[in-house]
Chain A
Amino acid sequence: MTRVLAVAAAVALPTVAAWPLVSGLWAAGRPCALQRLGKVAAAAMAGLGIVSLASFFWLLAGGTLGRSYVAAEVPLLMLLWLALTAWRRRVTRREQSQASAAREPVLPSGSVVWNVLATALVGVALAFALWRLIRIGADHPHGGWDAWAIWNHRARFIFRAGEDWREAFVPELSWSHVDYPLLLPLSVARIWAYAGETTLAPAVVAALFTLAAAATLAAGVAASAGPVAGATAAILLLGTPGYVHMGASQYADVPLGALLVVALVALLEAERTGFPGRARALVLGGLFLGFAGWTKNEGLTAAAIVVLARTLLSWRVRGLAASLRELVPLAAGAALPAAAWLAFHWSVAPPWAEEFIGQNRTALAQHLMDGDRWSLILSGVAKVLPGAELHLLAVAAGLAILLGARPRGVLRSPAFVSAALLYAAVVAGFLVTPKPLAWHLATAADRLAMQPWPVLLLGLLASAAPEAGRAARESNLE
């Protein structure tokens, strides 16, 4: 019981400390229950990301992840909470004065009945997903192959080795992808610093990201298109065959998808015309994109794709100079995770993705010109698209149209364009892989195809605009 409480404290403390950072999301209007739930989920993810950075810099400074770390982290989190709360109050005052002049839009909240029904359905889906996570986690406490061969393996090494933690990255362990960044292993290892080594820690981290992705997706869609669209998106995600199982297997692909979706939610928030605090939302988006890169190497590519998609779409609407200016707050948000990533590769781990980058150019060109390879990859990825057996992509698109989405709106959504480019990147990754293609497709395609799925649902359903919501928004913008 003490151990369970210690794990709970290790997760709750950073969540509380990060709360002021995300509490400004959807500050205009009255956030619905789904949005409030989404804020808690975003705070939990931000909190874990922040302490993974803190623990990494602690290790770099010569510390170990034991009692001394806990003794240093707790006051640090309290100070962070105080500083962020003071900053949040100051920003709120400034935004309120600007908002009164700018006439902030009322967000679509829908009728009370729909709001309650949508929230209840999401609650049931989340509760059932939690039950499955507990059940699978209890049966398979070490997670799936990648969990024990990579993520939890690294966490064990770092935690058990004490001051020799750098031995987790020696060349003899290269089969364990020692170039992969550390958000997940350090999230687990620092919980062990609180609670002692227990398989409960990786299971809790995995469950948190699996559920938080759905909660932030629901909130982000609800903010743009109302609670019914938000609930629809979350239910489709939690009902995607394999999604909860993949989360319970403690793979990094579900946390990466979760961080990408909350980044896009923040970027969509920044899109709202007349909304004050645009820079703050962009900083938050940058922070989560940075965390995505700090989770998995593919996260770096994904972050670059999201920034590119958003900048191109913003350029079209606001012009080149304004869209480039907006890169500054994005970069500011990503600065700390990027610094950790650079320090990691500079002083701890080998260069990243060496097997991809160091390939023979002739072989690469042959891969790119090989029609059979293209065909194998496209059919292989199409087969493992999330929910392919239930035609979930077509269903999600159909439901978005039913709820008022217009194709033009979807195609202009940074989330949709990012998701489309992310799937293109999955295909490109298989085109250039130096590994045997059939084996690589069989072992990785389903996981990689799950990463952009929450972002794709966001892109489709956040573009929906129920009549009531649209009318409310239009009347406020007149």
Chain B
Amino acid sequence: MLNRSGIASALALTIASVLWLRAVRDPLPPRGPDLADGLDPKFELLRKALPDHARVGVLLPTDTISSIAGDPAPYYLAQYGLAPLLVHRVIVGDCVRDGAKACGADRLDFLVEGLGGPRQPEVAGLKTQLRLGPVAVTEGLSLSRRQP
């Protein structure tokens, strides 16, 4: 068994196993939910309150898609959580400055808030302007509907 080829085999398996042992001692990623794991169950609750083909938007502080510096994760997660509804981005500052029609909020029936941290006074003003009333609330997120 331990001729030249046997020694080579033993060495190869030993070296590979030692490297494997070193690599598998790498720490696992931190336990506990990350953003997706934390937010998705909340969106699941909101989704149940939404009718099929609802026109829904998410209130955001900045345009997270056009700017690579912005964090697109909250919007992406809203879209992931509420699929197959198409989720529109509503930039709060744009609405306050240019009006609900210019920022597209007037074409929506539902709005999700609580993501990405838009300033609360602006959000409150916009909600009044759009006549938004609460439909469902989960920890940190709320869904509002435009009143007729």
Q: How large is the interface on B (under 10, 10 to 19, 20 to 34, 35 or more residues)?
A: 35 or more
B124 in the interface, Cβ–Cβ < 8 Å? no
Q: Write out the residue numbers on chain A whose beta carbons fall within 8 Å of the beta carbon of B142.
A: none
In the complex, the answer to whether B13 meets A231 with C-beta atoms within 8 Å is yes
Which A355-409 residues have a C-beta within 8 angstroms of B?
Answer: 387, 390, 392, 395, 399, 402-404
Bound Cα distance from A439 to B69, whole angstroms? 10
The answer to whether A399 and B29 touch (CB under 8 A), given A111-B1, A148-B36, A467-B5, is no
8 other contacts beyond A175-B65, A387-B19, with CB at 8 A cut-off?
A140-B36, A141-B37, A145-B73, A156-B80, A157-B84, A240-B23, A392-B19, A403-B9
With A125-B20, A142-B37, A239-B23 already in contact, the answer to whether A153 and B79 are too (CB < 8 A) is yes
Partner of A232, one of B16, B22, B34, B88: B16
Main secondary structure of the interface of A (DSSP, over half): helix
Name B40-85 residues within 8 Å CB distance of A: 40, 65, 68, 72-73, 76-77, 79-80, 83-84
Contact A164 B9, beta carbon cutoff 8 Å: no
A139 within 8 A of B: yes
Interfacial residues of chain A within 195-239, with CB under 8 A of chain B in the complex = 228-229, 231-232, 235-236, 238-239
Q: Which residue of B lies closest to A141 (CB)?
A: B37
Can you name 24 A-B residue pairings with CB atoms under 8 Å? A114-B1, A125-B20, A128-B24, A132-B24, A136-B29, A139-B29, A142-B80, A148-B40, A152-B80, A153-B76, A164-B84, A167-B84, A168-B84, A175-B65, A176-B79, A228-B9, A228-B12, A228-B13, A235-B17, A236-B19, A236-B20, A239-B21, A387-B23, A467-B5
Which of B16, B21, B31, B77 is the one whose CB lies under 8 Å from A399? B16
Task: Indicate which residue in B1, B9, B11, B40 contacts A466 across the interface (CB closer than 8 Å).
Answer: B9
Total residues of chain A contacting the partner, CB 8 A: 58
Per the bound structure, the CA–CA distance linking A143 and B86 in Å amounts to 22
Bound form: Cα–Cα A390–B29 in Å: 20
Pick the most buried of B4, B40, B84: most chain A CB atoms within 10 A of its CB. B84
Q: Which chain B residue lies CB-closest to A172?
A: B86
The answer to whether A403 touches B23, judged by C-beta atoms less than 8 angstroms apart, is: no
Identify the 9 closest CB pairs spanning chains A and B, nearest first.
A239-B20, A161-B84, A239-B23, A142-B36, A235-B16, A228-B9, A467-B5, A156-B83, A160-B84
Q: Which of A80-124 contact B (CB under 8 A)?
A: 110-111, 113-114, 117-118, 121
| Complex Cα–Cα for A403 and B29 (A) | 35
Is the C-beta of A74 less than 8 angstroms from some C-beta in chain B?
A: no
Interface of B is mostly: helix
A139 near B31 with CB under 8 A, answer yes
Is the beta-carbon distance between B15 and A399 smaller than 8 angstroms? yes
Q: Is the CB of B84 within 8 A of A235?
A: no
In whole angstroms, how far apart are the Cα atoms of A118 and B17 in the complex? Answer: 11
Quick check: A395 and B13 within 8 Å, CB to CB? Answer: no
Provide the residues of chain A in CB contact with B12, threshold 8 Å.
Answer: 228-229, 232, 399, 402-403
The interface residues of chain A lying within 8 Å CB-to-CB of B9 are 110, 114, 228, 403, 466
Q: Nearest CB to that of A152 among chain B residues?
A: B80
Quick check: B72 and A175 within 8 Å, CB to CB?
yes
B32 on the interface (CB 8 Å rule)?
yes
Whether, in the assembled complex, B26 has its beta carbon less than 8 Å from a beta carbon of chain A, the answer is yes
Q: Is B29 a contact partner of A140 (Cβ separation < 8 A)?
A: yes
- Cβ of A173 and Cβ of B37 under 8 Å apart? no
Contacts of B28 in A (CB 8 A): 132, 135-136, 139, 245
Distance in angstroms between the alpha carbons of A148 and B38 in the assembled complex: 13
Q: Is B102 an interface residue (CB 8 A)?
A: no
- Which listed residue, B15, B24, B79, touches A395 by the CB 8 Å rule? B15
**A149 B76 Cβ-Cβ under 8 A:** yes
Nearest residue (CB) in B for A139 is: B31
A436 lies within 8 A of B68 (CB): yes
Measured between beta carbons, the chain B residues less than 8 angstroms from A439 are 68
CB atoms of B23 and A241 under 8 A apart: yes
Report the Cα distance A135→B5, complex, angstroms: 39
A113 contacts B1, C-beta separation under 8 Å: yes
Beta-carbon contact of A403 and B83 below 8 Å: no
A158 CB to closest chain B CB (Å) equals 8
A428 in contact (CB, < 8 A)? no
- A121 touching B76, Cβ below 8 Å: no
Residue of A nearest to B26 (CB): A241
**B141 within 8 Å of A (CB atoms):** no
- Min CB distance A33 to B, Å, is 15
B36 touches A167 (CB 8 A): no
Contact (A149, B80) CB under 8 Å given A121-B17, A232-B13, A402-B11: yes
